[in-house]
Amino acid sequence: MTSSASTTLAAARSSPATVFGYTPVQAVALAVMVALVAFTPSVLYPVFLMKVLCFAMFACAFNLLIGYVGLLSFGHAAFFGMGSYVTAWTAKNWGLSAELAILLGGVTGAGIGVVFGWLAIRRLGIYFAMITLALAQMVYFVCLEAPFTGGEDGIQQVPRAKLLGFISMQSDMAMYWLVAGLFLFFFLLIHRIVHSPFGQVLKAVRENEPRATSLGYRTNDYKLIAFIISSFIAGIAGGTKALVFGIATLTDVHFSMSGEVVLMVLLGGLGTVFGPVVGALVVTAMENYLAQFGAWVTVTQGAIFVVCVLAFRRGIIGEIGARLKLAL
């Protein structure tokens, strides 16, 4: 990046009028997204939509780190997967309510994020990415051998715990509204963080970290906080997915999950507001509807990704925004 941190901070103060950080176009796009979340269950299978929303939450968390801080993590599967395991185990064995089980999954993700961040945050570029990957692989092998995870069998038959202790989540629609509420809450939270003074410093660090340091900002502290927030939301997403499907497996903590979320963000649009949501929808839809190709599904996905990367270098939403000269 060639622009300076001081320019970034100055531009934030002179940005066009917004409502809660949303430009008029973004506000319209948000209204459309909320309407789709509210009405698509009457058209599409709710379980499929819940999977999309869980991965959209995960992708938004990852985008906070790579899109607005400039840190590429290959270890986010650790937060997602451990959040899934802890939520599943506490719901099944402790009988916790849905919100407490999911919250514990998020706290677990944040706790691992503190350790990962403390070890990796002082490194940049490929070194940061490789450290997070190595640490995530350690978590994977812990999950493979630890008794409470069930090894290769995972934690199965996880009950959909009651919300607040008395609201049944057994029906798909009841569970859908919980997942939709969590997604919208964290989507709005991430947007608020990005457009807060804290978020402007994160962008300054992304653009020119030495200049941000010279302005008096403790950049490592800002990056660590962003890393922990991202890992917390990733843990929430993993825990929510475990309750939706009633199972937590090694797939959730495998390194391929980290690669999958990278693809979601890149395909949707790096550093855009709505890009991760679109990317999660596209990737999940491909996995769902291309499953009929069997062993060829991976090859088919790869070919589609290559075409998308060549046709949409900024991602789907990024390219649309660039063509229309709008910030999406």
Residue 179 lies in a domain: yes
At residue 234's C-alpha, the angle toward residues 229 and 238, to 5°, is 150
Residue 297 lies in a domain: no
* 152 CB burial (10 A radius; 0-12, 13-18, 19+): exposed
- Residue 167 phi, psi (nearest 5): -95, 115
pTM: 0.88
Residue 111 lies in a domain: yes
Residue 198 lies in a domain: yes
Which pLDDT score is estimated for 58?
94
- Round to whole Å and give the CA distance between 197 and 145: 43
- Round to whole Å and give the CA distance between 165 and 154: 25
The one-digit pLDDT tens for each residue of the chain (328 residues) are 444 555 554 544 444 545 566 777 778 888 888 899 888 888 888 889 999 999 999 999 999 988 888 888 888 999 999 999 999 998 888 888 888 999 999 999 999 999 998 988 888 778 888 999 999 999 999 888 888 888 888 888 888 877 887 777 788 888 899 999 999 999 999 988 988 888 888 888 888 888 888 888 888 888 999 999 999 999 999 999 999 888 888 888 988 888 888 888 988 888 888 889 998 998 888 888 877 777 677 777 778 778 877 877 787 888 787 777 766 6
Residue 299 lies in a domain: no
**Under 8 Å CB-to-CB from 102, ≥6 apart: which residues?**
87, 182, 236, 239, 240, 243
Residue 96 lies in a domain: yes
Which pLDDT score is estimated for 11?
47
In this structure, what token pair is assigned to residue 120? 């990796």
Domain that includes residue 112, residue range: 5-9+16-22+42-254
**Under 8 Å CB-to-CB from 185, ≥6 apart: which residues?**
none
Q: Is the dihedral of CA 110, 116, 120, 122 positive or negative?
A: positive
Overall number of domains in the chain: 1
Which pLDDT score is estimated for 18?
58
Residue 67 lies in a domain: yes
Which pLDDT score is estimated for 5?
52
Residue 313 lies in a domain: no
Which pLDDT score is estimated for 7?
52
- Are the beta carbons of 161 and 153 closer than 8 angstroms? no
- Round to whole Å and give the CA distance between 215 and 75: 31
In this structure, what token pair is assigned to residue 118? 């403390």
